[in-house]
Every structure is written in structure tokens, then in C-alpha cells.
Structure 1
Amino acid sequence: MTTLRNDLLLRTLRGEKTERPPVWMMRQAGRYLPDYMKLKEKYTFFERCQTPELATEITIQPVEQVGVDAAIIFSDILVVPQAMGMEVQMVEGKGPFLPDPIKKAGDLNKLVVPDVEERLGYVFDALRLTKKTLDGRVPLIGFAGSPWTLLCYMVQGKGSKTFDEAKAFCYTQPETAHRLLQLITDTTIAYLKGQVRAGADVVQIFDSWGGLLGPDDFEILSLQYIRQIVAAVKDEVLTIIFAKGAWQSLDAMAATGAHGLGIDWCIKASTARQLAGPHIALQGNYDPAKLLGPIPVIKKEVKAMLDAFKGYPHIANLGHGILPDVPVDHAKAFVETVKEYKF
């Protein structure tokens, strides 16, 4: 077992004292890095995900080029619907497309709770290879989409700002919706446990569309399933929930027993802390678009963000994924400002 030389992220999630906050960025492995774009020209999206050597190379690029305190495995949340038997295409410039979406109860018959080793073994292989290649430099984060967020794509068939078809499906066919959410939950638990066996030090559950639901519906359609996942893995691995826009439920998310909660830039640090309580690590919450601003401004604002979270466990991160057109030196300025900060 290789000893971790930089365990800042793990110590922060455990609530231990650290000399500074750890820093990483959502979507750090990929689209803003020139070396990633070279690989993108040569291989399709799923080739990059399904080839462990490529996934490893992409995962490690930001560790070497931007200096982040953690690596997050290069993959996609939609590998889970794919493993469950749905066709998933990545359409250049448009995003995900699922040509045969779920519309009624009978459509669930085409889904399976897969043998994750068989269907998603390539992710585990990528984690093992990345872990070996990192050789203890930084921790490795694994991840999965939340059941609600995956349902959105599986029912809508493509990305959307409102996912009204997915919501209508849940409101008009609740029994079928809950059956689907449970199938996704069961698959996700097995998948994350496989990631832990393969070497993930931390796992993050991405509920990208949690913010589309009011507090009651968030509990019914999203959080009760996330709670099952956290309960199944939290004793085996450090766990972060990131439900974008669902900050009104931070107290309920903190009560799941997760070690960290991601927040976006639409909530003040003080409000988030008040809701989440003093013990859980908060992760975020720099607006990714602000990385397009001038470097001196980025440095000033990152310091202000760190000051706002000071005194309690905090992981410096963006409030959502890094944008494709962010210059690499701006991403570096974000990371370096955190690394220069001292409690």
C-alpha cells in the first residue's frame, strides 16, 4: 500500500486540522487542457472513457499541469444508464443523447441491474491504473450521478435546462418513477463499492439537477435515494454529495452521514455553514465563469472565498464544472492562490 504524500483532502473530510484548505476543480480532467484536446481529436468520448490507459492519462493531466490536491477519475455519469442497458451517444457540440428513452412502466423491462465488474470493469481498471501511476502523490476521487439526475437523462433522452418531461414522468407515473430510481440506486451502490475496491479514496455523488426540485420533491425524488447510497458506502470511503442548486436541503444532506457537501456560488458561505452545521466539510463555491476574469481579480476573490469559509472544514473548489474556454494559467492561479493560503 503506497502512503499518500498529500492527504489534505482526506484529513479535511475527516474533520481534522489542516494547514490550508485542499483544492481541486470539478471537470478538471478534460476540456480546457490542450493535451486533452489532442486526445479528443484522436478518440471518441467513450473510447477515452473505456480505455484505461487514456482515462489514466487524462485523470493525471491536471495533477501535473495545474497542481491540484486530488485527481478525479475521467469518466461520465452516463456510464451507469449505459451499463443498465440503455444506448448513450455523445453528440459533438450537443452533449448526451439517449435515443430510446424510458416513457412508461413496460420500458423498465429493458433495464437490468448489471454485474458491475462485467459492464463497468473498465472504470475499475482505470482507477487501479491511475492509483498505480499516481504513486501516492494525491488522493483519487471516484464518482457517480445521483439517481434523480440519471433519471432526468434516461426519461428526457437528452440534456435540458428544465427536464420538464422527466418531472412530468415522476408526477404522472410515480410508481414507475420510484421503481426506476431504485434500480439506478441499486446499480450505483454496486458501482461505487467497485470503485472503492479499485482504489478510490473519496467518492462524490453528483446531483446536477437536484436544484430543479422544491424541498419536498427533492426529498422524495432525490435525497431518499442518495441517503441509501451514502449509508451503503460511508463506512468504507469518504463521501461527498454535490446537489447543485439544492442548498435549501443542506441540513438534510448533512444528516445523511456524508463527509462533505458541495455548494454552488448562489449561497453565502455563512448561510451554507449555518444550514450544514459546524462539522461537515463544505466544498466550493467559486463561480467557474469568474475564472475568465483577469488573474489579479481571481487571486483577490479566491482569497475572499477562503476567508469566508475559514474556521471550519473547507475544500476549495468551483461551484460547478470548469468551463472549456478557461485559460490554463487562470486555472493555475486559482489553485496556486489556495496553496499559498495559510490558516
Structure 2
Amino acid sequence: MDKDKLILPKDFPELKNDTFLRAARGEEVEHIPVWCMRQAGRYLPEFRESRAGKDFFETCRSPEACCELTLQPLRRFPFDAAIIFSDILVVPQWTLMSYMIEGGGSTTHSKAKRWLYRYPEASHKLLSQLTDVIVEYLLGQVKAGAQALQVFESHTGCLGPVEFKEFSLPYLRDIARRVKDKIKESGLDNVPMIVFAKDGHYGLEDLSESGYEVVGLDWTIDPSSARVRTGGKVSLQGNMDPCALYATKARISEIVKRMLEGFGTKGYIANLGHGLYPDMDPENVAAFVDAVHTHSRQLLNRN
């Protein structure tokens, strides 16, 4: 990537639906936008068919395969955002700090946390190096045409407030600042950034002042409380429990209606509080998307 300037593709098509971007910036919308984390995933039979027998990293390195997997959910559902198929495993192949140290998945992340407590200097060095790579990776996505970015802090719940402020928050802030500075230097329009710190309910106030336009929420946070605690400084995203999609379609509609009423219609992007699970029924995903659009139009007309 050109280190001095970002250059967007010359043949990038005109955006047909900017509802997501307007909501991220806190602007007026005709309906609340909605997308799902892991919307390009194993719950779709066409995804499983496309991925069958293929190496994961080979798929991530194929523009044609990534394009197909990105578009599959949009052929089924009227989502307001297409999520480029990729994975944090590409930065590097393992994943980021917790899995690099653990060597795999963990319920406690005790090995990674042991590093934080026993080797704080080495931990900061590794986190700083990862931050450098993440910034370049995100700028590469912008250069390739990405119009919004989401940064995941997937294991915030494994940290306490003190450790979060020392080992996570500074790097989240640094990522946002450096990406935005580079975009501004290149004379490009601002690209909205979302920070999603799962189980980070204790850090909402700090996250709302970390340089991101949107704060993503998991399902453990009350929508109206989140509005108060973030003080209108950012747009919010989330936060329906993914397991609610196992409910009936009528029940899904009720849950969505209550969620939208809690968040309000301005500066809000509807989503689940985490990703879709592989055994979920695509018909229930359709019910979720339809409920968001239907109820939000009714709320906006009422206002």
C-alpha cells in the first residue's frame, strides 16, 4: 500500500443505499439500518456449499470467493450493509494477542492474562506491534473501497476496568486516531468507525470518547441506559441477543420493537449483540430484518 496517500479505486460504483452511513453519523434516516455480525456465515446453505472442501485462508485470499460470500446474504435479505468476508485470523494467521499466547480458544484466557500481569512491558510491546499492523490493515480496506470500519475487542469481558484502561483502551484510541489522521491527510471523506468491545459494559463512557463514531453493544446492556451513559456523543449499534432468533417470528418482532423503542430512531444501527450462530434458521433472520424496517418506519412516522 502507498505509505503516503490512499487512493480509492477509480471504477468504484456509486452507493445506492447510504442509510447505514447516515445513521453512523447521527443523521436523519427513513428507516433504521440493520446488518448482522457473521451475516456471511455457516447458517446459510449457499455459504456451506461455497466453502465445502476449501482452505479457509485460500478463500480469504481470493477476491472472487470473498465477493461471492459477501453478497450471498444480500441476495436473501434487504440488509443495509455488506460486510466484506474476511477474518481477524489474517492479521496474523492465528489471531490477535489472546489467541497468539493461548495457542487456541479459551474460556478463561488465563495464559494471555498471565502475560498482562507478569510481563506488562512485553504485553505493551506486542499490543503496540499489533496496533501498527491493524492500522495498516484498516487503511488497506479503505483503499480497497470500504466505507465503514468496525474494530472488535472480542474479549473485553475477560478484563476488569483497570486492565481495560491500561491494556485495551489506549490501543483502541490509537487505532481510531491514526486511521482517521491518514484518511484526512489523503483528502478523503471521513470513514465512520465502529468499536465493538464485547462484555465491556463497564467501559461505555470511555468507549464513547475513544474516537469512534459508533459504539457497538452486546445484549447485556440496556438500550436506554446506554443512551444516558454515552451522553449522545456517539451513535449506538446492537444489541439483540442472538439466541432470540430461536424464538417464533412473532416473538422476534416483539423483541425488536422493544429494542428500537429503547434506543430511539436517531443515531442507531440495529444488529445482534454478537454474531449469528451456524444453526440459525435463515427465515428467522429474515423476520429480524423485516421487523427492524417495519417497526422503525412506524416509529419514525409517529415522530
State the TM-score, normalizing by the size of structure 1. Answer: 0.79
Could you list the per-position Cα deviations for residues 304-339 of structure 1 after superposition, in whole angstroms to 9, with x for gaps in the alignment?
111111154110000000111110010011011112
Q: Does 1:52 align with 2:6?
A: no
Q: After TM superposition, give the deviation of residue 288 of structure 1 in Å.
A: 0.4
Residue number among 24, 29, 46 corresponding to 1:35 in the alignment = 46
Residue number among 192, 201, 206 corresponding to 1:238 in the alignment = 192
Where do 5+ consecutive residues of structure 1 fail to align? Answer: 83-87, 89-95, 97-149
Match of 1:335 in 2: 289
> Is the contact made by 1:55 and 1:74 (CA closer than 8 Å) also made in structure 2?
yes
Whole-Å Cα distance in 2 between the matches of residues 39 and 165 of structure 1?
Answer: 36
Could you list the per-position Cα deviations for residues 20-45 of structure 1 after superposition, in whole angstroms to 9, with x for gaps in the alignment?
21000000011100000102213122
C-alpha change, 1:234 and 1:276, in structure 2 (3 Å) is: farther
Whole-Å Cα distance in 2 between the matches of residues 5 and 184 of structure 1?
Answer: 35
Task: State the secondary structure of the residue aligned to 1:205.
Answer: strand
Whole-Å Cα distance in 2 between the matches of residues 151 and 2 of structure 1?
Answer: 36
Q: After TM superposition, give the deviation of residue 50 of structure 1 in Å.
A: 1.5
Matches within 5 A, 1:200-215: 200-215=146-161
Q: After TM superposition, give the deviation of residue 47 of structure 1 in Å.
A: 2.0
Match of 2:79 in 1: 68
Match of 2:5 in 1: none
Match of 1:225 in 2: 171
Q: Which amino acid aligns with 1:292?
A: Y
Residue number among 3, 11, 30 corresponding to 2:14 in the alignment = 3
Q: Which moved more, 1:153-162 or 1:307-316?
A: 307-316
Residue number among 129, 132, 135 corresponding to 1:189 in the alignment = 135
> Is the contact made by 1:285 and 1:318 (CA closer than 8 Å) also made in structure 2?
yes
Residue number among 148, 156, 168 corresponding to 2:102 in the alignment = 156
Q: After TM superposition, give the deviation of residue 3 of structure 1 in Å.
A: 2.4
Residue number among 247, 250, 262 corresponding to 2:201 in the alignment = 247
> Is the contact made by 1:240 and 1:261 (CA closer than 8 Å) also made in structure 2?
yes
Could you list the per-position Cα deviations for residues 35-81 of structure 1 after superposition, in whole angstroms to 9, with x for gaps in the alignment?
00102213122222111111110011111112211011111111102
Task: State the secondary structure of the residue aligned to 1:42.
Answer: coil
Q: Aligned-residue CA RMSD in angstroms?
A: 1.2
> Is the contact made by 2:28 and 2:266 (CA closer than 8 Å) also made in structure 1?
no
Moved over 6 A (4+): none
Match of 2:234 in 1: 280
> Is the contact made by 2:208 and 2:233 (CA closer than 8 Å) also made in structure 1?
no
Q: Which has the higher contact order (CA 8 A, sep 6+)?
A: 2
> Is the contact made by 2:27 and 2:266 (CA closer than 8 Å) also made in structure 1?
no
> Is the contact made by 1:234 and 1:258 (CA closer than 8 Å) also made in structure 2?
no
Match of 1:177 in 2: 123
Q: Does 1:318 align with 2:276?
A: no
Task: State the secondary structure of the residue aligned to 1:283.
Answer: strand
- Matched length: 278
Q: Which amino acid aligns with 2:82?
A: A
Q: After TM superposition, give the deviation of residue 259 of structure 1 in Å.
A: 0.5
Match of 1:260 in 2: 214
Task: State the secondary structure of the residue aligned to 2:215.
Answer: strand
State the TM-score, normalizing by the size of structure 2. Answer: 0.89
Residue number among 88, 91, 97 corresponding to 1:77 in the alignment = 88
Match of 2:144 in 1: 198
Q: Which amino acid aligns with 1:186?
A: D
Where do 5+ consecutive residues of structure 2 fail to align? Answer: 1-11, 184-190
Whole-Å Cα distance in 1 between the matches of residues 206 and 36 of structure 2?
Answer: 25
> Is the contact made by 1:279 and 1:312 (CA closer than 8 Å) also made in structure 2?
no
Q: After TM superposition, give the deviation of residue 234 of structure 1 in Å.
A: 3.1
Matches within 5 A, 1:8-157: 8-82=19-93, 88=94, 150-157=96-103
